[in-house]
Amino acid sequence: MAKQADREDNKRMDEMEIKKLQGVIEAILFTMGESVELERIAAAIEHDEETTRKLINGLMDQYAEEGRGIRIIELDRSYQMCTKKKCMNI
């Protein structure tokens, strides 16, 4: 029973850490206003590039699923936050 509770605590902690890191990535992309290299984002959040790419892809999926007016695009090995085309002429 205690092992199950420990696993659930670890899962919650992992989800909290993911959300925190994704929030930092969002802030970086928003404030920069231009594309940011994957390497720079990874260094800022102190994680490897593969983990960083997965976190960014998760954000991209969230934006698409939630129908937000912004999106994150990949340009070579860089990422940029921008307005969705359908929202540009409103």
Per-residue pLDDT for the chain (90 aa), expressed as one digit of tens each?
555 554 555 455 588 899 999 999 999 999 998 999 999 999 999 999 999 999 999 999 999 888 888 899 999 999 999 986 766 565
pLDDT number for residue 25: 97
pLDDT number for residue 42: 97
pLDDT number for residue 66: 86
Largest CA distance in the chain: 56
The yes/no answer on whether domain 2-87 falls in CATH 3.40.50.300 is no
pLDDT number for residue 57: 95
Length in residues, the chain: 90
pTM more than 0.85: no
Burial class (CB in 10 A: 0-12, 13-18, 19+), 74: middle
